[in-house]
Chains A and B, each alone.
Chain A
């Protein structure tokens, strides 16, 4: 007898018939009917009308039938809560059944029924099951706590289930331990502040023991939990690593990847001088390579992760290029990922092989893959100088194939090669020009225009060639364009050209910054965060969980442990000598080249979604260029109106605002009101720094943070070669530009410097949270000091929350996250307070008067995206205010309060 027939009943009156069958006296018939109901449910038919009839079949000793009824209940209980109560008795009874399988089934199913009334009845059976003598029941009950927490978190806490769950971590049965760990991890995720998991060396030891004994899935839960632990020192980190490495030989790829995650994370804490560090590096390569022999879907997950690992620790896989060669029958998603990793691993040692492969790939069928292969050849040329010539000739060969998209892609990358090696390969221009007619993609056309423009002197008919592009010029830029960004840039050039050709020449033909060797690098802080998410969806998407997970689960930011270990300070990149930072970090550039190149490529549509620019040297340069150009245009009085025949009537307004934007970009020093700036304090006394005294303060103006410094030379010799660097800190503060002291500092001289800061540096939680450790170097020595920065420099300009949103968020943040403070001796009234705070980006959303008291509801947002909601209670006669703060990361509250104090009292 087969079950497929249940799928085929589609006649009318079916529900009626089923009802009759469900109420039949014959057991067999009943069971048949329930099966039909489940089949209908599967295909999406609404069979909720049969609820009472199905529930009636629940009281049975036939386990198969019982399970089917339970399945039905889980689906429809929510829509029929009153009827669902009918089932409670059976559940409660089943939880007492002598058969452990039935007890477990009952508690498992009950947890899946999301009806409040049933939940109430669940507590007692669940309490018993958590302490059941049978491990099968206990492991099921452990997961049930997580289910219940999802329905009613408060209930779980009130009933003390969390403590019972914690006790299960010490259970004698490994599977119970694993499920308890899974449940606790999930609950902890929705309570980022609570110390629910309370991992300490003892509990870690228990987990590591259970790791050897439980199922493959349990091992994954435990490893993922271990990855959240922060060992207290390098020794503990090493001993955990030693016990985790055997998992690298597990047949289950997820176990392997989770083990890799733990190792990659804890490795941060190991000194590079340690023998063990080298051993660990060697041990990581084989399992990663083995993952590539798994099924294609897993290969894909593995490759996305390897892409991160190769960026973080290139040394692990640098000899393994060959395993990433593409196979003829790999699925396309595997091919594309392998290609990405090949480019990252390409080096002088293997470039010949890589090029030979890439050339093969360029003749395949899949268009995306071919394009990427061609692009990869260009990357190789830029990355490995010795290979540039071969790459160029390979690209020329490919252009000869005349396959349209290959030609276009090749031209785009040849432009980049010209950028990197100017005046070296002009001989190929002739070949490129032959293919002018076939270019129909904007990017290729832009590249070609750039090449023609750049080498105009050497191309006899450059003007003719450009002519051919002019046809569509109106569609592709200026006034007919709907894209305001494009239009404004068009205007800038147009104005520039029509006003002062000399200035225009200076701007357009200025020296271009060099092209970087690496593209599409993941921004370092994001990379570090993603390393903490190895194996998970975040590592597949290369996005932090907050980008694709709704609700509170994504809020917790994970970060790598800080490096410890004493003997490595000299070579570790974090402690590199101050000043070299800008040169050391790879200059991350958007894939299309710098801003100037970008101006030409405008018709590509949306702005380049490259990674945030870390060392903004490239970008800053370009912005200055434009700013300076415009300054001279306007300041010099050369601003002559353009004849109105070619000028749209509404030009005035957009142009004005466009210029305003540009001024914003240049920093607008001093002119605009900003946050409160504390007076300068001495940070580094001359006594401690061989005569160099540093005093300073922090400021925030129009969105940019700066460190205002005064350097005073109290020694007898001249000081020069200043440089500055920050240690990692809680909010990733880092200098956005090198410390520039233009002339050597003579004895008894002072210099004032404004050092722009950004918040894209490495993140490490400090204690106190706003502690900043700074190293300053000069020709004499390196000096260290630490200072506390006021948190309000991190309050961003768009920190005003919508009213509705505010209400919802206020309710959503649990009460234990609320903190109350008193602000004493402040005599301002509510409006004065509002406007004062607004200056520092604390926004008042609503004001209410309750029984003579003024209540201000305020919001602010920190640079790392943390929202803080505040309620400020002001009594007219009382100079003491009450400040209540609610935030998902309550550890910041205290510092927010300090910021309030500072702002209000000054």
Chain B
């Protein structure tokens, strides 16, 4: 199990050091600083073994978090714990920075004492922690309050406390997807996949039982067996979801047997599920992903001192929808001396410091196309190495889910309180963003 946990600033000074096991000494703190933080080379692995001691580290801005052990621990668990630790700290005091850590070091020690016992992670849900780690000293809790806290921390629904009340029961669902694409210069899709998240923000009273439904092919086909015509209609729009993971509030065995997603949500914001698509060519061909934009590059070398670049982008979705925050980044060689750009839409600029032409368009409707052309002057060099031609990358945001996922319903039941599913105000929003969206040129 985890033997100790250290937090360092960018210089390698220790900000927090908590040792859980006898086999970890103070010298471990220094070993990590010397061998990893101060190492001359770039870090080649997130796990380092120094003198039979293993160090796991993650970095948040310029803060290093390192977990140390001498045993054969569950490595995946250690990293999951370090991320969780970051989440908890962020939930308590915001950004993880040297200043914030120093300002809250007593709190951090208190948290570390609670969420890691003898190196074994314990309940680390912020919802639960915030009920009793408050930095206010001991509050005069009643006996009922105390047992409520302990039963929540150890209980089956450790992520939600009882007795939450809202005047207005409301929930927000965000379907957030990022589309990743790698395309050859000829327009052949080399790889395309979507990674998506369903984020829920709930302000619901009591212990609401929720049921979430989407256009999952398997579910719809099962339901459609009775009514044949409905299968024809909705079957087309359904998508196959095979590779998804859920927040721990979701009853997994129920999903496995019935494919229904039921849960009691934590209060406030949380990530209900995460899914991928497209990369799994066995389950879904890449055709099923709507690629919102197509980039057509044309690069011509005119002699040794000039490049001509022409890039066309085409939007590929319903004309009624609008894409936003479009940005195309065209890399230029290191020996570029000057650039002239002409674009039909938006603004384009050569940024010498970034070695790229950046073309920005505020909005663009579906089924349109636009074009940029540039002349790049090059300084003659005797560098033998050819320019590696990094891919053209693109950023955008579209108001739909490129995987085709649709929310069908989210039902809320709270039998003990007097509000019903109809009284809950529900909001659904779809946002498709570019992940790594690249076209080779």
Contact = CB atoms under 8 A, between A and B. Distances in A.
B385 interface: yes
Contacts of A6: 105
A295 B242 contact: no
A114 B25 CA distance: 14
Contacts, number: 295
B75 A539 contact: yes
B156 A174 contact: yes
Interface stretch (B212-220, B342-350, B367-375, B386-394): B386-394
A253 B118 contact: no
A720 B212 CA distance: 69
Contact of A251 (B81, B110, B271): B271
Contact of A147 (B118, B244, B390): B118
Interface string B235-247: 0000000111111
Interface string B132-162: 1001111001010011011101111010000
Nearest to A61: B138
Interface in A82-106: 98-101, 104
A244 to B, nearest CB: 10
B151 A135 contact: yes
A293 B70 contact: no
Residue among B26, B45, B54, B58 having the largest count of chain A Cβ atoms under 10 Å: B45
Contacts of A247: 252
Contacts of A333: 44-46
Interface stretch (A263-271, A322-330, A791-799): A322-330
Interface in A385-417: 401-403
A322 B191 contact: yes
Nearest to A538: B72
Interface string B199-211: 0000000000000
Contacts of A296: 46
Contact of A246 (B16, B52, B252, B440): B252
Given A43-B14, A100-B150, A250-B252, A108 B72 contact: no
Interface string A307-327: 000000000000110110101
A504 to B, nearest CB: 43
B103 A540 contact: no
A250 to B, nearest CB: 6
Interface in B19-57: 19-23, 26, 29, 42, 44-47, 49, 52, 54, 56-57
Contacts of B21: 150
B270 to A, nearest CB: 10
A62 B117 contact: no
Contacts of A75: 19
Contacts of A61: 138
Contact of B153 (A70, A136, A540): A136
Size bracket of the A interface: 35 or more
Interface in B54-104: 54, 56-58, 69-77, 79-83, 99, 102-104
A736 interface: no
A256 B245 contact: yes
Nearest to A402: B384
Contacts of B252: 212, 246-247, 249-250
Interface stretch (B164-172, B276-284, B298-306): B276-284
A891 interface: no
A847 interface: no
A329 B137 contact: no
Given A290-B276, A401-B386, A302 B253 contact: no
Contacts of A16: none
Residue among A43, A176, A243 having the largest count of chain B Cβ atoms under 10 Å: A43
A112 B42 CA distance: 37
B76 A535 contact: yes
B110 A548 contact: no
Interface stretch (B119-127, B226-234, B317-325, B420-428): B119-127
A212 B248 CA distance: 10
Contacts of B190: 322, 325, 353, 356-357
A296 B113 CA distance: 27
A182 B74 CA distance: 12
A365 B281 CA distance: 30
A620 interface: no
A289 interface: yes
B79 A298 contact: yes
B22 A150 contact: yes
Contacts of B15: 42
Contact of B248 (A250, A256, A302): A250
B154 A549 contact: no
A653 B99 CA distance: 69
A858 interface: no
A63 interface: yes
Given A136-B150, A325-B191, A42 B16 contact: yes
Nearest to B16: A42
Contact of B146 (A101, A147, A541): A101
Contacts of A272: none
A641 B253 CA distance: 80
Given A3-B102, A111-B118, A249 B246 contact: yes
Residue among B42, B76, B77, B280 having the largest count of chain A Cβ atoms under 10 Å: B76
B256 A246 contact: yes
Interface in A155-175: 173-175
5 contacts: A7-B105, A67-B109, A251-B246, A286-B280, A549-B72
Interface of A: 2-4, 6-7, 35, 38-39, 42-44, 61-65, 67-68, 70-71, 75, 98-101, 104, 108, 111-112, 114, 134-137, 139-140, 143-144, 146-147, 150, 173-176, 179, 182, 186, 212-217, 220-221, 224, 243, 245-247, 249-254, 256-258, 285-287, 289-290, 293, 295-298, 300-302, 319-320, 322-323, 325, 327-329, 332-333, 353, 356-357, 360, 363-365, 401-403, 533, 535-541, 545, 548-550, 553-554
Given A68-B106, A139-B122, A286-B243, 4 more contacts: A4-B99, A64-B136, A401-B386, A550-B52
Top 4 A-B pairs, shortest CB-CB distance? A286-B243, A136-B150, A4-B102, A254-B76
